[in-house]
Amino acid sequence: MVSLNSKVHLLFPFDLGLELDFTGKDAKEFFKAIAQRKMGILSFEGRNFQKAEFYTQVYRFGVGIIQISFETEGDINYLARLSCNVEKIRAGKIGILSYCESSVESLVQRASKYATYRYEHRFGEKEIFPIFVLTEPPAEDADAFIKKHQKALFGLVVGEADYDSLSSFVIEQQRLVNFGYYENELILIKRFGAVVYSKEVNDIVEMIKLSFAQYWSMCSYNYILDHELEDSQKILKDIPPYYKFWLIPSAYQRLSREALDFDGDKISIVDSLYNVLANIPKVEADWHLNTLYHNVNKVFNIEELHRTVETKIQKIEESYNSARDFLSTNFFILLDIIFFLSLAWSIIDTYLFYRIATK
């Protein structure tokens, strides 16, 4: 089988749990300083990869991407095996996931001084997304290359290690689609990997990184809102009835505190949802890149996640509004009871004075 030269980019996304301020000289210098550095030797299946590069990119909406890049050579089966077992790559004596995690923990501590907002919860899932950039075009055109190596390419981009055993039904349901513009341009991307050969490879890799970061931010917001939804429903459940009027002030205080905390989260989340857009030159003016950007977003299911986040925000607001209405109703019921008791006491008091006066 033909050996392929490729540059591998491993993307490790992470949630900082912060909204960041990139303005100011200190902040710019800090984020510039964390950007890029050399790594030691990486290894996989006894093979060493020299001159690996470690690059960190942090987005304003509180999500970052660690990108580890190195060059390798091997046939398509080797690349598929590497993709499906990417967590087994070692950086020196430790696994690649542990190496990235330790870098993130250090970064979170240092970046917190530039935070404009901090979330109570932080999304902590771990994943590595591999991108294989072929440095030379395949011997045949892209369509013939995909047809010839269909199962191995399928395994590479969906993370299926046992790709040789896949049925035609599975492959047809998750059919490989080449998003390339030219005959020899190869752009395959699924949820767990990508293979690219293109003259515009730098823009394409940046596009994938941005979409992946946006996907991760949606997952992070979804995670945060699950906790918010649970808290709001608990508050609604624990609101005291009117006959336990002595508990109403503390319940109102708790509701106000939780609602204000949620308002802070909501402002940051909505700002990110609507104002963090693709900022890659040429995308809007280039039909191919623009179409590719929308297709990459579909791969990561960003629009559906966006709708899910908006729905949860709406449900939480409804819970807090219901709690306010319930507390207000209970408060007015309590006032009515106090009024009628006062009225009754006035009548009784007047009657007693009348009886005393007539004796």
Kindly state whether residues 13 and 158 are assigned to the same domain. Answer: yes
Per-residue confidence band for 317, with pLDDT thresholds at 50, 70 and 90: confident
Kindly state whether residues 122 and 226 are assigned to the same domain. Answer: no
Give the residue-averaged pLDDT of 182-199. Answer: 91
Give the residue-averaged pLDDT of 233-249. Answer: 66
As a whole number of Å, the end-to-end CA separation of the chain is 120
Burial of 307 (0-12, 13-18, 19+ CB in 10 A): exposed
Kindly state whether residues 335 and 265 are assigned to the same domain. Answer: yes
Per-residue confidence band for 203, with pLDDT thresholds at 50, 70 and 90: confident
Kindly state whether residues 189 and 303 are assigned to the same domain. Answer: no
Using CA atoms, how far residue 142 sits from 3, 93, 203, 208, 299, in Å, is: 16, 38, 19, 20, 20
| Averaged pLDDT score across all residues of the chain | 80
Question: Which strands sit side by side in the sheet containing 186-190, from one edge to the other?
Answer: 36-38, 53-58, 63-74, 4-15, 129-134, 193-197, 186-190
Which of residues 22 and 134 earns the better pLDDT score? 134
Query: Is the pLDDT score of 96 beyond 90?
Result: yes
Q: What is the tally of helices (H) and strands (E) in the chain?
A: 10, 13
Pairing of strands 115-118, 193-197: unpaired
Which of residues 266 and 134 earns the better pLDDT score? 134
The whole-number pLDDT of residue 178 equals 92
The whole-number pLDDT of residue 95 equals 92
Output b/e per residue, 251-277; b: 16+ Cβ within 10 A.
bbeebeebbeebeebbebbeebbeebe
Q: Which of 159, 172, 102 is nearest to 132 (CA)?
A: 159
Kindly state whether residues 150 and 265 are assigned to the same domain. Answer: no
**Based on C-alpha coordinates, what's the Rg of the chain?**
29
Kindly state whether residues 292 and 160 are assigned to the same domain. Answer: no
Which of residues 20 and 88 earns the better pLDDT score? 88
The whole-number pLDDT of residue 277 equals 47
Kindly state whether residues 148 and 297 are assigned to the same domain. Answer: no
Kindly state whether residues 64 and 81 are assigned to the same domain. Answer: yes
Choosing from 171, 200, 229, the residue where a domain stops is 200
Choosing from 200, 234, 266, the residue where a domain stops is 200
Kindly state whether residues 191 and 324 are assigned to the same domain. Answer: no
Say whether 179 sits in a helix, a strand or coil: coil
* Cβ pair 189, 11 in contact under 8 A: no
Query: Is the pLDDT score of 253 beyond 50?
Result: yes
Query: How many domains is the chain partitioned into structurally?
Result: 2
> 152-179 pLDDT, tens per residue?
999 999 999 998 898 889 888 888 999 9
Pairing of strands 42-44, 115-118: unpaired
Kindly state whether residues 98 and 234 are assigned to the same domain. Answer: no
Cα(178)–Cα(194) distance, integer angstroms: 11
- Orientation angle between helical segments 201-237 and 302-358, nearest 10 degrees: 20
* Cβ pair 188, 126 in contact under 8 A: no
Phi, psi of 197 (to 5 degrees): -135, 115
When mean pLDDT is compared across 8-12, 251-255, 348-352, the lowest value belongs to 251-255
Per-residue confidence band for 88, with pLDDT thresholds at 50, 70 and 90: very high
* Cβ pair 191, 300 in contact under 8 A: yes
When mean pLDDT is compared across 14-23, 78-87, 138-147, 187-196, the lowest value belongs to 14-23
Which of residues 277 and 315 earns the better pLDDT score? 315
| Structural domain of 99 | 4-200
Kindly state whether residues 144 and 276 are assigned to the same domain. Answer: no
**Is residue 359 in some structural domain?**
no
Per-residue confidence band for 322, with pLDDT thresholds at 50, 70 and 90: confident
Choosing from 200, 228, 249, the residue where a domain stops is 200
The whole-number pLDDT of residue 291 equals 86
**Is residue 358 in some structural domain?**
no
Kindly state whether residues 24 and 134 are assigned to the same domain. Answer: yes
With a pLDDT cut of 70, the percent of the chain lying above it is 75
Token pair of 5, please? 């030269």
> 58-80 pLDDT, tens per residue?
877 778 889 999 999 999 999 99
Token pair of 147, please? 């047809």
